[in-house]
Amino acid sequence: MSSGRNPVGRAGTPADIVAATMLLIGNGYLTGAAVHVDGGGRFA
């Protein structure tokens, strides 16, 4: 995705994916979630 269309204003990095993955792994209460790591591009 072009960073110009995304509200965060930058392209995603591997570290962004790792952070989202760690959130899911580290939360024992969260189940069945779809997390879109796209800088808000779904809403742009």
Confidence of residue 3 (pLDDT cuts 50, 70, 90): low
Confidence of residue 15 (pLDDT cuts 50, 70, 90): very high
pLDDT higher than 80, residue 7: yes
Read off the DSSP letter of residue 40. Answer: T
User: Average pLDDT of the chain?
Assistant: 82
**Amino acid (1-letter code) at residue 14:** P
Structure tokens at 38: 């796209």
Confidence of residue 18 (pLDDT cuts 50, 70, 90): very high
**Amino acid (1-letter code) at residue 8:** V
